[in-house]
């Protein structure tokens, strides 16, 4: 891809008319959406693109609050706490002109529960989805679920007829490289419609003329030109030169330069995302290490040593330029269950870590491959490089294998990675989301991102109990108990919570959304 040519063409097009410049948003980000199939991947950047064109029953606005979307009201039935009733918005049309009805909701939620749907972990408490009438749906859960609404903000609604007509009834099997009609085409109800798409090059969207939200949202952006630019230097150069208007992830080392540039600004806020390392602890023998017949990660003392070898303060200062918040737990402060005690960062102690390695039988160290993305998180590859040096100080030689996220994530999903970086946002703002995906045994639609081999029957039982515990105080006691166990087991090695820095033209009015989800229907421009 010739990024410079594409961006220059965008500048020429935007300069033809002041009206086009005011209404067309040229947006750049490090990585592209993995797919346009709205149920195939539960990944932040993929959801970001989907949110422009598809919609869920409920929506998190730019402050992170849950608001009505395709459902106008919802509540558990007064005579049956296991059933939630959703009243649907009337008069909504899909981009193709089809009516949005309860049939589409039933179809979409059942599709999202299928084996190849990465979002299925959000729906494990659902027993049945039933149509009451054309604009009413009941969702029955396995026991009362007080947080069902929290799980539905990224569950997008598809048109049943369109999906079936295009042979896309099942979600794309992303991990095994499948491609379907729904991976490159869209028929949603959202504020923007797909015009064209070249994966990893450019996606163009235009305003939906029949959008139900007219009069509710500013809708001042009438066209979105999305250009993924993996190179941080090229991405910020495009912003500084005026070739793009909005960069979601300007490199931390260039934020000062961007803020000082005439006509630009940086808007900063904490992000609902934590960065950490995962280790395959369950295998009897690893394939990518130098140890024969044993698994070093299975030894708790090795994991302890690695946890205290990480100098999170140094990563914050040198790699992140102070744009991170070191943490000792794999959940951000936004999440129910977070406490200052859990967040406390382990003291860096290389000598003690070396002693633990020796006690575990690895005084001479070992080598291991670390899989890392290079286009997903802020300075992801640089974090991995810094961590590799820190692990080296206690005898663990890291062979770094950095890849674009489209190649990195399947390594985790297919369980072929044995040591890896992952970032995790919590769209439900509740610990259960973390537990269900990352700590529950990898079985029965749960633990779909648990590539550690960790399995604890007592923990699993407590995780499932959270889905039907209506007494929030009792529920929070269980959450705290699970966290104590996971922290004691050193399931993951947390690094830090990310800080968001959205960089944009000064005339753009746009708040930072804590999930890093820029919903462009909210964007407006200073006159």
Average pLDDT of 449-474? 96
pTM: 0.85
- For the segment 185-199, what is each residue's pLDDT rounded down to a tens digit? 999 999 999 999 999
Q: Is the pLDDT of residue 309 over 80?
A: yes
Helix (H) or strand (E) holding 60: strand 58-60
Q: Residue 83: CB partners within 8 Å, gap ≥ 6?
A: 76, 77, 138, 139, 140, 141
What was the pLDDT predicted at 48? 97
DSSP code of 19? H
Q: Residue 265: which of 291, 246, 284 has the closest Cα?
A: 246
The alpha helices in 16-147, defined as continuous H runs, are: 18-23, 44-53, 102-112
Q: What percent of the chain has pLDDT over 70?
A: 96
Q: Is the pLDDT of residue 36 over 90?
A: yes
Q: Residue 14: CB partners within 8 Å, gap ≥ 6?
A: 20, 21, 24, 26
Q: Residue 152: CB partners within 8 Å, gap ≥ 6?
A: 56, 57, 58, 122
Average pLDDT of 57-84? 96
DSSP code of 245? S
Backbone angles phi, psi at 143, to 5 degrees: 95, 160
The dihedral through the CA atoms of 328, 453, 109, 210 has a sign that is positive
What was the pLDDT predicted at 21? 44
Q: Do residues 297 and 303 lie in contact, with contact meaning Cβ atoms separated by under 8 Å?
A: yes
Average pLDDT of 468-472? 91
Give, in order, the Cα–Cα distances in Å from 35 to each of 142, 200, 295, 511, 523.
31, 10, 35, 26, 24
Q: Residue 145: which of 500, 470, 514 has the closest Cα?
A: 470
What was the pLDDT predicted at 17? 35
**How far apart are the C-alpha atoms of 382 and 512, rounded to whole Å?**
24
What was the pLDDT predicted at 527? 81
Of residues 443 and 16, the one with the higher pLDDT is 443
> How far is the first Cα of the chain from the last one, in angstroms, to the nearest whole number?
35
Specify the 3-state DSSP secondary structure of 262: coil
Average pLDDT of 8-36? 67
- For the segment 92-120, what is each residue's pLDDT rounded down to a tens digit? 999 999 999 999 999 999 999 999 999 99
Q: Is the pLDDT of residue 523 over 60?
A: yes
**How far apart are the C-alpha atoms of 397 and 393, rounded to whole Å?**
9
DSSP code of 316? I
What was the pLDDT predicted at 147? 87
Q: Within 13 A of 316's CA, how many CA atoms are on the CB side?
A: 16
Q: Residue 209: CB partners within 8 Å, gap ≥ 6?
A: none
Average pLDDT of 4-13? 40
**How far apart are the C-alpha atoms of 505 and 9, rounded to whole Å?**
19
What was the pLDDT predicted at 252? 92
- For the segment 362-408, what is each residue's pLDDT rounded down to a tens digit? 999 999 999 999 999 999 999 999 999 999 999 999 999 999 999 99
Q: Quick one: residue 476, left, alpha or beta (phi over 0 = left, psi -120 to 50 = alpha)?
A: alpha
Average pLDDT of 275-303? 97
Q: Residue 163: CB partners within 8 Å, gap ≥ 6?
A: 107, 111, 169, 182, 187
Q: Residue 162: which of 92, 107, 208, 106 has the closest Cα?
A: 107
Q: Is the pLDDT of residue 178 over 90?
A: yes
**How far apart are the C-alpha atoms of 499 and 194, rounded to whole Å?**
30
Average pLDDT of 152-178? 97
Pairing state of beta strands 223-228 and 136-141? Answer: unpaired
Pairing state of beta strands 24-29 and 223-228? Answer: parallel
Q: Is the pLDDT of residue 22 over 80?
A: no
Q: How confident is the model at residue 184 (pLDDT cuts 50, 70, 90)?
A: very high
Q: What percent of the chain has pLDDT over 90?
A: 94
């Amino acid at each position: 891809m010739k990024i410079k040519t594409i961006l220059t063409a965008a500048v020429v097009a935007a300069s033809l008319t002041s009206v086009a410049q005011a209404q067309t948003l040229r947006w750049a980000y490090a990585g592209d959406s993995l797919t346009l199939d709205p149920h195939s991947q539960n990944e932040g950047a993929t959801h970001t693109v989907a949110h422009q064109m598809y919609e869920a029953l409920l929506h998190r606005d730019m402050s992170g609050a849950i608001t009505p979307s395709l459902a106008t009201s919802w509540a558990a039935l007064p005579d049956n706490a296991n059933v939630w009733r959703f009243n649907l918005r009337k008069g909504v049309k899909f981009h193709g002109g089809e009516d949005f009805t309860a049939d589409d909701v039933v179809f979409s939620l059942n599709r999202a529960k299928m084996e190849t749907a990465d979002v299925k972990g959000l729906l494990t408490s659902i027993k049945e989805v039933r149509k009451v009438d054309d604009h009413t749906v009941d969702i029955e859960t396995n026991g009362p679920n007080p947080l069902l609404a929290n799980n539905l903000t990224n569950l997008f609604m598809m048109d049943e007829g369109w999906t079936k007509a295009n042979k896309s009834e099942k979600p794309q099997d992303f991990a095994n490289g499948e491609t379907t009609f729904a991976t490159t085409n869209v028929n949603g109800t959202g504020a923007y419609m797909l015009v064209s798409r070249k994966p990893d090059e450019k996606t163009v969207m235009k305003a939906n003329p029949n959008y139900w939200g007219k009069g509710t949202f500013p809708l001042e952006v009438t066209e979105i030109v999305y250009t993924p630019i993996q190179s941080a230097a090229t991405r910020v150069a495009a912003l500084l030169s005026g070739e793009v208007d909005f960069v979601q992830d300007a490199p931390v080392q260039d934020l000062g330069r961007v803020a000082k540039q005439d006509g630009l600004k940086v808007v900063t806020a904490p992000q609902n995302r934590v960065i950490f390392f995962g280790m395959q602890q369950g295998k009897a023998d690893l394939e990518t290490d130098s140890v024969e017949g044993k698994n070093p990660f299975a030894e708790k003392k090795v994991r302890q040593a690695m946890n205290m070898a990480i100098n999170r303060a140094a990563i914050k200062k040198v790699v992140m330029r102070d744009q991170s918040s070191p943490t000792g737990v794999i959940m951000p402060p936004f999440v129910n269950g977070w406490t200052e005690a859990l967040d406390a960062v382990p003291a860096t102690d290389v000598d003690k870590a070396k002693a633990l390695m020796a006690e575990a039988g690895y005084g001479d160290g070992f080598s291991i491959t670390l899989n890392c993305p290079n286009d997903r998180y802020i300075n992801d590859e640089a974090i991995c490089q810094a961590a590799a040096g820190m692990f080296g100080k206690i005898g663990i030689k890291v062979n770094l294998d950095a890849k674009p996220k489209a190649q990195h994530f399947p390594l985790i999903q297919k369980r072929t990675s044995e040591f890896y970086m992952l970032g995790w946002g919590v769209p439900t703002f509740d610990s259960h989301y973390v537990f269900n995906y990352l700590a529950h045994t990898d079985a029965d639609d749960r633990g779909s991102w648990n590539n550690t081999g960790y399995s604890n029957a007592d923990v699993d039982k407590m995780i499932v109990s959270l889905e039907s515990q209506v007494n929030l105080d009792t529920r929070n006691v269980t959450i705290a108990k699970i966290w104590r166990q996971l922290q004691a087991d050193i399931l993951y090695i947390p690094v830090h919570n990310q800080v968001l820095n959205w960089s944009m033209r000064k005339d753009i009015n746009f708040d930072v959304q804590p999930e890093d989800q820029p919903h462009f229907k909210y964007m407006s421009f200073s006159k």
